[in-house]
Structure 1
Amino acid sequence: MHSKRRLLVLIVGLLVVVLLVQAKSHPQADPCQNFYGVACGNWSAIHASDAYQSFLGQLDYNYQAKLADLLDAEYFAKGGHDEPHSVQQLRYFYTACRRPLTQDQVLRSLEQLIALEHIQFEEMTVGLTAAFRLQVLASINHYNKYDIFKQLLARREHWHPNTTNREPLTRQQFDELWVRMPKIPFPEKEDFWHQVSRLEAELTSIGIENDETARDELVSWIPSFWMLPWPKLTYRNLHRVTRLLALRTPQFMLTYIYLRLQLPPEGGVSKDTWLMDRDQCAEQSRQILSHAAVWLMEQHHPRLKEEPLLQDIFEELKQRFGQKLRANRNNFTRRTQQFLVRKLKRMRLRLSILPRNASATTVGQLIDGHYRHVHMNASDYFGNLYIGLNHSSPQMHEYGTFASPFYITEKNMLIVPLSLLEPPLYAHDQPPILTYSSLGFILGHELSHGFDSEGVTFSADGVASRAVDRETARNPRFQHELSCLDRRFGSRRYEKFADASGLELAYSAYFDTAQTDRKRHRSTDNLLSQQQQFFHNFAQFFCSDGEFSEESDHGSDRKRVNDAVAHFKPFREAFSCGTSHKRRRQCRLF
């Protein structure tokens, strides 16, 4: 009876996935050439009206909606007597964010910033957040102006014509605005005018290239509340705008924006106040006071129910990778082989970014200590931004809070944020094929990072071994395969290795049998259909709106999917990719 129920759950789950695939797939895409197009073809159209731009973004969005519910709850609104200090500051930040904000508040905030002798990353982030009504850019953990403006230009909301002015400044306008300028440690008026006019001339000179391809890529939106000159652009031109803005100093940019915000709006009617929605305020609260937000969320998350399942899958993946290490295709010395096997055996998986070796009360006290000098004001949103962005601590800052998992080399540990254990990625009692093809791949990917050419030399205790470093540097096969990855993928070789390895490990853990398997009975019915659904579900984790994709260390979502499956034999067999499709050998470090 129990096995029949499990089979019924599996069949229902597969039917659900088939319906999702039919809804999202591109009917004309060839899986052997563009599997991302097959799995995610219509994703952008289906989610065009949603606030998120990717599958991963949907997980974060759902997480933030739950956080907003907690921060809106009556208990927190009244300030519970046993509310931890860190959660209280989180609530104050959220409350200030939810208050109506005015153009006058923005100008007063910018006046304080441009009067500073030196404007750093934090001050610039606050200024741009105020001026463009942005979600906080605190996820950028290094000072990189190009990245800041790149995110700013990626805003997909349409410009509000009755709010700002996009026409270039005239000399008369500049003179009138300069009279109202507060005292600032800046160059002389004429020097500043020269810089302003030069930048605006460069911005307005950017136009459409004289070819039909470029015209087809015409940008159809303007970033929300944009107040600088905005020429007709293609997607390729956006990078030119980004470079132009990033070349200017923070002092210049914030002062220039301060001037332009005081121009009469084009429509003649100014929108003096605005209100940020609750989900955006929850996102900002999560970014600024990340550990307090996670602690609060985890008091309401049944994480321990999922722990045994994920740990079992992780152990299966480790066993599969252990088989590769014991096969020793690289002919490593016995000492190095034992070094790698020991590291794999002692690798741990932890759900949650917060410590797990202490009670919730103890962890709450640690977080309170981390935020003991943070004092937010429930009515000063921009001041709170400045306080939050300037607060950091090395021992707490290393862990992120969003849905991306990560591997910590020094601790030989995989961290899986609990925000991953939510629909549409994960649901309790979902068919195992869905779990293995998504979370199984994610765990396999991060596990593999412990054995790329950078991570492989670190021991089970996170200590670099010179002996292993020397051997891998001299090993002919290891270096040959590393060169193979380098030729194909360049700086993305480690991520591409982890993608291919993670997919292979997850597939093997689900479809292949081994003595180490636990608590799961595979069905051999409709094997080909199961194999195809495995790959479809894997690919849909990467579905996103690719019109202005973020090029990161991983590359675009489309490339990640297509590169991972391109040379994987089970995939090619499942979709009958014959010799008509170009086939290349997969680069394999182990």
Structure 2
Amino acid sequence: MGSLLLLCSCLLASLHFIEAEVDINFTTANQIRKNLNRTTSPCSNFWNFACGGFGNASEYVDNFEWVEDQFASAMVELFESHLGENDTQAPRLIGQMRSYYKACTEDMRTMNATHAPEEVTEWSTDPVNFIQHVFCRIVFDERSGVANNDSMHQVIQLQMPDPSTRYSSLRVLQLLQLNTSLRNHNVVKLVRKLQQLRDRYREENPVVYTWTYSELRQQIPNVPWWHLCNQFLAGQNTSKECDHLSFEVSDRDYIRESSQFFHDFEDYNAKHLYLRLHLYVLLEESQPRERNPKTCIHHMRAFLPLGVNYMYDRFVYQNREKDTFQLMEILANVKATFGKYLEANRLQLTTQQLAYVRAKLEGMQLKVGNLPEEKSPEFYDTHYESANFTTSNFYGNLIQALALRARLQHAGLPNPGSRLDLQRYYVNDNVRKARTSPFYENERNTITVPMEFLQWPLFDHRQHSVFQQSLLGAVLAHEMNHAFEQEGILFDAAGNESPVGLQIRESPAFRDAIRCAERKPYVSLKERLADLNGLQLAYDSFFGLDHDSRKFEYRPYAFEAEFSAPQLFHLSYAQFFCGSLPPVIAHDRDDERVNVSVGNLRQFAYDFKCEESHLPPCEMWRPNVHP
């Protein structure tokens, strides 16, 4: 009798598991059908066909807002509960994060340009802060990175400010126009002159110079490097310690002339007003547009990534082990298919070049969640100890968070040799909106998948492989192909620039593939190549290199009666891009990305019975022989 009961319980458990599997797949297929716009032909505008109904089917702007909202809701529930308050592993980190969250949600003071909070005024009137902010944010951009020829050696990178900072300069001019008490013609002159210099000297691929501290002072003399070095080394500055620093300088002529101009500009009051307004704009851009519990979580994701991810991983995330297993399987499948591409050797690479690409492919790593490998409670508990967040002062906390991020980025510089500690490395970059989509780092040959991404409708470990391989598989294949496009190919398996990569990039077959991708206008060529190659790779990884949609009948799945397997694959892929079209930031518009990608996958025309294009598809690594 006991055995019979055990058998029945096992059968019930099995049936429950199958039901759960079917439920998530029915739910996913049903969402795909809801998003469709059946008034559009899939052959004329596939993005519109796959995503035209998203606005009516979803309350969110796009799928990213959807998963980010789920993440924020879970974290708000955590912060507003007592969970972790008596934690013994990382009590200080958790306490600091709770203090920052409380101030963000309860301190409702607002800023204005004429009466900034006291903390802002104190910060901007400090001479050291004045020097650091002027030269490290206004004149040029400074950050800690790794050397081009040694991905473990930390260097200080100096370059022209990113084009996106033009908005900040325009905002300063707007504030001067809106506030009569602030109007100062010399500030306008200062802002416009610096922008003119950026426009004059900006290059797509500027020469990078590697200099010692002494060489930097000789090459660009009109900058108070001694004070800046003191900031880089967190006050541990001596002449000898500064001398061991390495600098990689881009846009040399711009930095020389802009530094000279700022040095010679005689109106100190105008320079100080520009600094104060620039700091005001920085805080304005950094704070949530409208403060509430969820927007405060999104803000903290960007500025305190280790703390937010640590707490989510420990107290909220339930499926790390299952998700990691699934992702490793998907990436292994994608890598194996790319290995078959290399066997065909479409680009006619030499033996040395093939070995170079294979080593990079085999050495590529996957990281689930932007957390370091370090697991010790002490590391996490002391990571933010130099910050002094309070529960009542949001702007004071924000200024501390900005300074903290700079200190953490510079943390390894005082060490002789300045070697990167990979055990404690995580991405802590200068972004004001946290990354949700997976990303690839050339210097570490690693794909990182943020935990925020691993939620339905983008991913669920219970989904059928057609959904996982088409959406997440295509995303991972896209990121993987960043290692092999015209910029990524320059970096070897260890993350160092290599002459072998340059040889591949300059080879005739590689250049032909790039010219093909350039047939249609693009915002970023490397993103275009990753889109094209990524979808082709994901499709081949799922269906196999030798399949032929014209010969094989791909029956619908049990959870989807209307669309055949290849059609469902394309729809699932496209719906990663569903939503209102956002402003273009280093990518083509989402509709263009989808339509150009499927238009260069020859099987797509077979799968939807479209008229085949008279132009051959753009394929870089994919074997020449196709059905």
Superposition TM-score, scaled by structure 2 size: 0.64
**Deviations, residues 514-534 of structure 1 (Å, cap 9, x unaligned):** 9xxxxxxx9953376221111
2:332 aligned partner, one-letter code: E
1:74 aligned partner, one-letter code: H
Task: Please state how far the C-alpha of 1:257 moved relative to its aligned partner.
Answer: 12
Q: Is the 8 A contact 1:123 1:386 kept in 2?
A: no
Q: Is the 8 A contact 1:122 1:389 kept in 2?
A: no
Task: Report the CA distance shift for 1:377/1:588 in structure 2 as closer, same or farther (over 3 A).
Answer: same
Secondary structure of the equivalent of 1:411? coil
Q: Is the 8 A contact 2:328 2:366 kept in 1?
A: yes
Task: Please state how far the C-alpha of 1:299 moved relative to its aligned partner.
Answer: 0.9
| Corresponding residue number in structure 2 for 1:33 | 44
Q: Is the 8 A contact 2:474 2:535 kept in 1?
A: yes
Q: Distance in 2 between matches of 1:250 and 1:541?
A: 46
Aligned residue pairs total 465
Q: Is the 8 A contact 1:406 1:446 kept in 2?
A: yes
Task: Report the CA distance shift for 1:496/1:428 in structure 2 as closer, same or farther (over 3 A).
Answer: same
Task: Report the CA distance shift for 1:431/1:399 in structure 2 as closer, same or farther (over 3 A).
Answer: farther
Task: Report the CA distance shift for 1:446/1:378 in structure 2 as closer, same or farther (over 3 A).
Answer: same
| Corresponding residue number in structure 2 for 1:203 | none
Q: Is the 8 A contact 1:445 1:498 kept in 2?
A: yes
| Residue of 511, 527, 534 corresponding to 1:502 | 534
| Corresponding residue number in structure 1 for 2:566 | 531
Task: Report the CA distance shift for 1:22/1:513 in structure 2 as closer, same or farther (over 3 A).
Answer: same
Q: Is the 8 A contact 2:117 2:395 kept in 1?
A: no
| Corresponding residue number in structure 2 for 1:311 | 328
Q: Distance in 1 between matches of 2:313 and 2:71?
A: 11
Task: Please state how far the C-alpha of 1:44 moved relative to its aligned partner.
Answer: 3.1
* Residue 428 (1) aligns with residue 461 (2): yes
Q: Is the 8 A contact 2:490 2:498 kept in 1?
A: yes
Secondary structure of the equivalent of 2:488? coil
Task: Please state how far the C-alpha of 1:121 moved relative to its aligned partner.
Answer: 10
Q: Distance in 1 between matches of 2:275 and 2:167?
A: 11
* Residue 290 (1) aligns with residue 320 (2): no
Secondary structure of the equivalent of 1:464? coil
**Deviations, residues 348-404 of structure 1 (Å, cap 9, x unaligned):** 222122134x4x3x2x43344442311212111001101101222336563566322
Q: Is the 8 A contact 1:314 1:440 kept in 2?
A: yes
| Corresponding residue number in structure 2 for 1:439 | 472
Secondary structure of the equivalent of 1:462? coil
Q: Residues 268-417 of structure 1: matches in 2 within 5 Å?
A: 276-300=291-315, 301=317, 302-356=319-373, 358=374, 360=375, 362=376, 364-391=377-404, 392=406, 393-394=408-409, 396=425, 398-399=427-428, 402-417=435-450
Q: Is the 8 A contact 1:99 1:275 kept in 2?
A: no
Q: Is the 8 A contact 1:405 1:414 kept in 2?
A: yes
Q: Percent identity?
A: 23
1:36 aligned partner, one-letter code: W
Task: Please state how far the C-alpha of 1:510 moved relative to its aligned partner.
Answer: 2.0
1:33 aligned partner, one-letter code: S
Q: Is the 8 A contact 2:600 2:617 kept in 1?
A: yes
RMSD across aligned C-alpha pairs, in angstroms? 4.1
**Deviations, residues 316-366 of structure 1 (Å, cap 9, x unaligned):** 11110001111111221112112222321222222122134x4x3x2x433
| Corresponding residue number in structure 1 for 2:600 | 567
Secondary structure of the equivalent of 2:566? helix
* Residue 585 (1) aligns with residue 598 (2): no
Task: Report the CA distance shift for 1:3/1:485 in structure 2 as closer, same or farther (over 3 A).
Answer: farther
Q: Distance in 1 between matches of 2:524 and 2:537?
A: 20
Q: Is the 8 A contact 2:601 2:617 kept in 1?
A: no
| Residue of 57, 72, 76 corresponding to 1:64 | 72
* Residue 450 (1) aligns with residue 483 (2): yes
| Corresponding residue number in structure 1 for 2:625 | none
**Deviating 4+ runs (over 6 angstroms):** 1-11, 121-124, 150-153, 192-195
Residue range with higher mean Cα deviation, 328-337 or 18-27: 18-27
Identify unmatched segments of 5+ residues in structure 2: 1-10, 139-158, 193-269, 281-288, 410-419, 547-551, 558-562, 623-627
1:531 aligned partner, one-letter code: P
**Deviations, residues 159-212 of structure 1 (Å, cap 9, x unaligned):** xxxxxxx9x86xxx94xx67xxxxxxxxxx6748999xx9xxxxxxxxxxxxxx
Task: Please state how far the C-alpha of 1:470 moved relative to its aligned partner.
Answer: 2.5
Q: Residues 139-178 of structure 1: matches in 2 within 5 Å?
A: 143-144=161-162, 146=164, 149=167, 174=180
Q: Distance in 2 between matches of 1:572 and 1:280?
A: 43
Task: Please state how far the C-alpha of 1:20 moved relative to its aligned partner.
Answer: 2.0
Q: Distance in 1 between matches of 2:383 and 2:596?
A: 42
Secondary structure of the equivalent of 1:456? helix
**Deviations, residues 253-302 of structure 1 (Å, cap 9, x unaligned):** 965999xxxxxxxxxxxxxxx98311111122222211111111111323
Q: Residues 507-518 of structure 1: matches in 2 within 5 Å?
A: 507-512=539-544
